[in-house]
Amino acid sequence: MKTQTITVTFREDKNTTENLQKAIEKLNIEVKGIEESNTSAKTQAGEKCEKSCNIKHLRRNTGLMRSYKKMIKILFVCHGNICRSPMAEFIMKDLVQKAGPAAEFHIESAATSREEIGNPVYPPARRKLAEHGISCAGHAARQLTKRDYDTFDLLIGMDRANLQNMRRICGGDPEGKLSLLLEHAGRSGDVADPWYTGDFEATWRDVLEGCEALLKELRRGK
């Protein structure tokens, strides 16, 4: 995914580049183009039987999920699951509720650490949500598990440290499900942890921007 390119060698008499593209797109990966190379192997009879191709511009395509799944499952992740990720969870739930239909989405949040397991949303974060009419009642922090990778379509971290720990817990990211929230808004930065900054208004703005962009991204693929 870093190079956005894979090279595939296949049997011409058994497969086609079109079939390869369809198989990759079923993994929620968008294919922008395919370049076929002239290199090929030969059978003992001298017949061409293998071909290589470079599949270009791969990227996670959340819109493609709409074609294969009735419900999109999103998991927001931060360090403790008491500030940023529950803010993202409940902001996103509020956005999809207003946009409708909310039944198309299943949204949760989790932590990469065990430090706050079982705790509710941190009071300043809870108050910031309440300022905007959003309730986070009933939330209890939990830790991300490897099983979550199979359960959810998108696992979205708040910062690069989260993302590194998510990869560790999930055993990598073979299906391209992991991302940072602000990437969906076209930004490369992290959502700063208000536990340390004390600036819950800035966190609210960043999380709202990321969630709004994510929802638009998903709606475009509907």
Structure tokens at 177: 């499900």
Distance CA 54, CA 84 (A): 39
Concerning whether 193 is annotated as a catalytic residue, the answer is yes
Concerning whether 78 is annotated as a catalytic residue, the answer is yes
For residue 104, give the nearest of 155, 142, 62, 144 by alpha carbon: 62
- CA 208-95-203 angle, to 5 degrees, is 15
Position 197, amino acid:
T
For residue 169, give the nearest of 104, 82, 101, 111 by alpha carbon: 111
- Please report, for residues 40, 59, 219, the alpha-carbon distance to residue 56 in angstroms, rounded to integers and kept in the order given: 19, 9, 25
Q: Of 53, 60, 78, 153, which one is the catalytic site residue?
A: 78
Q: Of 84, 153, 190, 211, which one is the catalytic site residue?
A: 84
Concerning whether 83 is annotated as a catalytic residue, the answer is no
**Among all residues, which ones are annotated catalytic?**
78, 84, 193
